[in-house]
Amino acid sequence: MAAAAATAVTKGNGGGGARAGAGEASGSRKKKGPGPLATAYLVIYNVVMTAGWLVIAVGLVRAYLAKGSYHSLYYSIEKPLKFFQTGALLEILHCAVGIVPSSVVLTSFQVMSRVFLIWAVTHSVKEVQSEDSVLLFVIAWTITEIIRYSFYTFSLLNHLPYLIKWARYTLFIVLYPMGVSGELLTIYAALPFVRQSGLYSISLPNKYNFSFDYYAFLILIMISYIPIFPQLYFHMIHQRRKVLSHTEEHKKFE
- Where helices occur in the chain by DSSP H, the ranges are 36-67, 74-87, 90-97, 104-116, 132-156, 162-168, 172-197, 214-253
Determine the Cα–Cα distance for residues 46 and 164; give it in Å rounded to an integer.
Answer: 14
**15 in Cβ contact with 5 (< 8 Å):** yes
Residues recognised as catalytic:
176, 183
What's the one-letter identity of residue 150? S
Is residue 149 within 8 Å of residue 164, measured between CB atoms? Answer: no
First-residue to last-residue Cα distance in the chain: 41
Burial of 193 (0-12, 13-18, 19+ CB in 10 A): middle
